[in-house]
Amino acid sequence: RLATVPTAPPDAILGLTEAFNADKNPNKMNLSVGVYKDASGKTPILNCVKEAERRLVDDESTKGYLGIDGLPSYREQIRALVFGDQLPADRIAVLQTPGGTGALRVAANFLVTQLSPIRIWMSSPTWANHPAVFSAAGLPTETYRYLGSDRTSFDLDAMLEDLNEKTSPGDAILLHACCHNPTGIDPTADQWKEIAKTVSERRLLPLIDFAYQGFGDGLDEDAAGLHTILSTVDEAIVCTSASKNFGLYSERVGAVSLVAGDSAAMKASQSQLKAIVRANYSNPPRHGGAIVAAVLEDAELTAQWKVELEEMRQRITRLRNQFVETMKSTGKGHDFSFLLPQRGMFSFSGLTRMQVDQLKNEFGIYIVGSGRINVAGMNEEKMQSLCDAVAKVLES
Ligand code: PMP
């Protein structure tokens, strides 16, 4: 029977990395997948993480199962990190999940099983895995406009028009809390207020994807949009990830946090979330959550983490600035200064699919077809050759 199974298309982003690995070009550059790299091209293990792991080796006394919702100390630390003291703890259920993707999947299953009929509205564009995860859970997806026609700015009016004219009360809306993937374009504080007002007036349920806390302007600054939303609605779901800000990509650690109107509603929803997890993967892996908890429970390790996170954030900003400057210096009036206000690992370059193909085929530079560039994958030493190549395809 398996002979009838057709081959699935390769993943749009991870498939590019396979092609990159096979490329023989010595100057090749992978700016597709969203992973942070340091100056030597490596994705480092943070020192605070190494130290936490050393302590875990000494102190961990069991590999017994965690509860369905994960490690209590991790859950408590994530609640504090994401929500601060804006809301009473008894309105928030936090479940440790396998990465941010696991959080999104649990959230999608919850929406379908508990709140149907429901649709989710996603920005166009959004992270390619969003529609895939939601559809796999049977959650119908719709899109609202996000990018302006220049493809380099945020069109708030278009977004609000779509929300006002197309959504139904009770629908869910996906929002990127910061570092919008793939565009790097975030709403300003005032724009967040307008979005929050519309979300509340239209009685939409916000599903906030917060995969990059600390990669935009700072830990608290990056949570500001989310707090604006939470100040106008009683109910929301927040999906977080420790993949980027703790560099724990392969440990698969994230969380789904549900905010309810009161404690009783929170407890009922929490019980449903746990039933969903039990039938999916039973309970989450311990190690990543234990690392995050060990760091955040220790003042010294937390201070170290903040320094290391800040270093990553500043490096990305430096590389983005350097790219803009170097493009300018190619002497052909290539003005990429629209990249400067963009935040996070990604920038929408405005390059067309044809230009992206040319960069790959002629120069071994791998960028996602939409023109999304992983700025965090750039490198000071290769900046000139990258910009020369981009200038060449822009002129051809
Ligand atoms: N949401 C967004 C917007 C992302 O970019 C990512 C990671 N690329 C995730 C969620 C999921 O991250 P994780 O690796 O923790 O599953």
Domain boundaries, the chain: 10-45+301-395, 65-297
Angle at 383 between CA 379 and CA 387, to 5 degrees: 140
> Do the domains 65-297 and 10-45+301-395 match in fold?
no
Outline where the chain has alpha helix (H).
14-22, 47-59, 72-83, 99-115, 129-136, 156-166, 189-201, 219-222, 224-230, 263-280, 287-296, 299-329, 353-363, 383-395
Residue nearest atom 8 in ligand 1 by C-alpha distance: 34
Beta bridge partners of 176: 209
Centre of ligand 1 from the C-alpha of residue 241, in Å:
7
Residues 251 and 285: beta-carbon distance below 8 Å: yes
Which is the closest atom of ligand 1 to the Cα of 209? Answer: 1
- For the chain, the distance separating the N- and C-terminal CA atoms, rounded to the nearest angstrom, is 50
Angle at 313 between CA 149 and CA 292, to 5 degrees: 115
pLDDT in the model for residue 13 = 79
Based on the residue annotation, tell me whether 244 is a catalytic residue of this protein: yes
pLDDT in the model for residue 16 = 86
pLDDT in the model for residue 174 = 98
Find out whether the beta carbon of 215 lies less than 6 Å from any atom of ligand 1.
Answer: no
Find out whether the beta carbon of 181 lies less than 6 Å from any atom of ligand 1.
Answer: yes
* Order of strands, sheet of 92-97, starting from the edge strand that comes earlier in the sequence: 92-97, 254-259, 236-241, 205-210, 172-176, 120-124, 141-145
Closest CA to 20 of 7, 8, 33: 33
Rounded CA gap, 194 and 200, in Å? 10
Residue nearest atom 5 in ligand 1 by C-alpha distance: 181
Rounded CA gap, 235 and 314, in Å? 34
DSSP string, 208-268: EEE--TTSSS-HHHHTHHHHHHHTT-S-EEEEEESTTTS--GGG--EEEEEE-SSHHHHHH
Centre of ligand 1 from the C-alpha of residue 101, in Å:
6
Based on the number of CB atoms within 10 Å of its own CB, is 243 exposed (0-12), middle (13-18) or buried (19 or more)?
buried
Residue 57 tokens, joined: 């080796």
Based on the residue annotation, tell me whether 209 is a catalytic residue of this protein: yes
Instruction: Render each residue's pLDDT in the chain as its tens digit; 396 residues.
Output: 999 999 998 887 778 888 899 999 988 999 998 899 999 889 999 999 999 999 999 999 999 999 999 999 999 999 999 999 989 999 999 999 999 999 999 999 999 999 999 999 999 999 999 999 999 999 999 999 999 988 889 999 999 999 999 999 999 999 999 999 999 999 999 999 999 999 999 999 999 999 999 999 999 999 999 999 999 999 999 999 999 999 999 999 999 999 999 999 999 999 999 999 999 999 999 999 999 999 999 999 999 999 999 999 999 999 999 999 999 999 878 999 999 999 999 998 889 999 999 999 999 999 998 899 999 999 999 999 999 999 999 988
Residues 222 and 178: beta-carbon distance below 8 Å: yes
Rounded CA gap, 162 and 144, in Å? 6
Is the ipTM higher than 0.90? The answer is yes
* Cα separations in angstroms, 267 against 83, 90, 271: 18, 9, 6
Find out whether the beta carbon of 211 lies less than 6 Å from any atom of ligand 1.
Answer: yes
Find out whether the beta carbon of 100 lies less than 6 Å from any atom of ligand 1.
Answer: yes
Based on the number of CB atoms within 10 Å of its own CB, is 193 exposed (0-12), middle (13-18) or buried (19 or more)?
middle
* CATH 3.40.640.10 is the classification of domain 65-297: yes
Catalytic residue among 121, 127, 192, 305: 127
Catalytic residue among 209, 222, 305, 360: 209
Find out whether the beta carbon of 288 lies less than 6 Å from any atom of ligand 1.
Answer: no
> In a mutational test of the pocket of ligand 1, which residue from 97, 122, 127 has the highest number of ligand atoms less than 8 Å from its CB?
127
> In a mutational test of the pocket of ligand 1, which residue from 180, 209, 248, 249 has the highest number of ligand atoms less than 8 Å from its CB?
209
CATH architecture label of 10-45+301-395: Alpha-Beta Complex (3.90)
pLDDT in the model for residue 4 = 96
Closest CA to 226 of 245, 211, 246: 211
Rounded CA gap, 292 and 96, in Å? 11
